[in-house]
Amino acid sequence: MFTVQQITKHLEDFAPRVYQESYDNSGLIVGDPAMKVTGVLVSLDTVETVVDEAIKRGCNMIVAHHPIVFKGLKKFNGRNYVERTVIKAIKHDIAIYAIHTNLDNVTGGVNFKIAEKLNLEKVQILAPKKQNQMKLTVFVPPSNVNALIDALSKAGAGQIGDYDHCSFRATGMGTFRGNKNTNPTIGVKEQLEEVKEERLEMIFPAYLEGKIVRTLQKHHPYEEVAYYLQLLENTNLAIGAGVVGYLPEALSGEAFLQYLKECMELKCIRHTHLIDTPIQKVALCGGSGSFLLRSAMAQRADVFITADYKYHEFFDAEGKILIADIGHYESEKYTSELLRDYLKPAFEALNIYITENNTNPIHYFY
């Protein structure tokens, strides 16, 4: 049987927690990482009815997009739905795992799923993030450099888009002298040595720093490894908020809203005045995304799809872009499908279900 930890590790290989926003609480919220998993229930939210469904279906792990606990709980009196949900999960040995803004911010995540539903093409991150990459520079004998590149690549370095084993090498001369306590790989202790070395440079995600350094020290031939790390200001086009892409063909504003309604199975859409220009370039952000309007306008998108827009924020469109608010739950409801489809191939022997509960707290009267 698989453990909770094995499942969470697989999820974090896809969406590392380091990519969550500072306010977030993604990760294992309830449960023992070593617990054997009998089944997984996937849901957008974790509420009491979802825990009840997990019990009924024989699932002792819930994987949800939204964290049931955002801030610390000081009391467990069952006085609100958060406390009651957590108490019920603990009583029935059900683990709760949340994969929230880290799943929003990765390529292939929540926003890419929405883009898939809309049949968008040439989809890219709308607002890429910075300072999440580092560069390793190390000096190594020519005879060892290929093996080191291979080891570092397997650890996660040297990945640039669809390319791996990416590196830069330059040949030079290194000098060193070991004291009487050394056992140098090349040369003799207490003697100044001059050796041919290669300067090797590779980039890697900043959260892998510890793993990369351990791999370097394990596979480098020297007793004392000369290396340094740099935090890069480069924009990482694979990580960030929202996405932007293109419809297969341009539509009028009204035709686009009808298309959006059908693709996302919506009851209604809140939107700004229709604009005169055809709609083809689409920017979107699942959940609360009004903070990305300027990015959408800078990308010259014709429409910005998101949720949770406030009254005064609609004025910010200024007739230059169509804002379409489709609802928070509605924008992210296919996240459960995304998570199930990601988990199933890796855990084929495990029952993985999508909840039958509609957890949307908002209802509409027509």
Domains in the chain (CATH in brackets) are 4-104+334-354 (3.40.1390.30), 110-127+240-326 (3.40.1390.30), 132-232 (3.30.70.120)
Of the chain, the percentage scoring pLDDT greater than 70 comes to 100
pLDDT of residue 29: 97
pLDDT of residue 90: 97
SS3 278: coil
pLDDT of residue 260: 98
pLDDT of residue 54: 98
Mean pLDDT of 275-290: 97
Place of tokens 């590196």: 167
pLDDT confidence tier of residue 366, bands split at 50, 70 and 90: confident
> What is the Cα Rg of the chain in Å?
25
Q: Is 66 annotated as a binding residue?
A: yes
Mean pLDDT of 138-160: 96
How far is Cα 69 from Cα 71, in angstroms, rounded to an integer? 6
pLDDT greater at residue 95 or residue 366: 95
pLDDT of residue 323: 99
SS3 280: strand
DSSP result, 252-270: -HHHHHHHHHHHTT-S--E
pLDDT of residue 9: 97
For the cut 90, the answer to whether the pLDDT of residue 180 exceeds it is no
For the cut 90, the answer to whether the pLDDT of residue 307 exceeds it is yes
For the cut 90, the answer to whether the pLDDT of residue 52 exceeds it is yes
For the cut 90, the answer to whether the pLDDT of residue 72 exceeds it is no
pLDDT of residue 301: 98
Q: Is 332 annotated as a binding residue?
A: yes
For the cut 80, the answer to whether the pLDDT of residue 185 exceeds it is no
- CA neighbours closer than 13 Å in the CB half-sphere of residue 289: 34
At 194-214, the pLDDT tens digits run 889 999 999 999 999 999 999
Nearest to 62 by CA among 91, 101, 31: 31
pLDDT confidence tier of residue 92, bands split at 50, 70 and 90: very high
Q: Is 209 annotated as a binding residue?
A: no
- Rounded mean pLDDT of the chain? 95
Contact 113, 337 (CB under 8 A): yes
Mean pLDDT of 90-105: 98
DSSP result, 90-159: HHTT-EEEE--HHHHSBTTSHHHHHHHHTT-EEEEEEEEEES-EEEEEEEE-GGGHHHHHHHHHHTT-S-
pLDDT of residue 191: 84
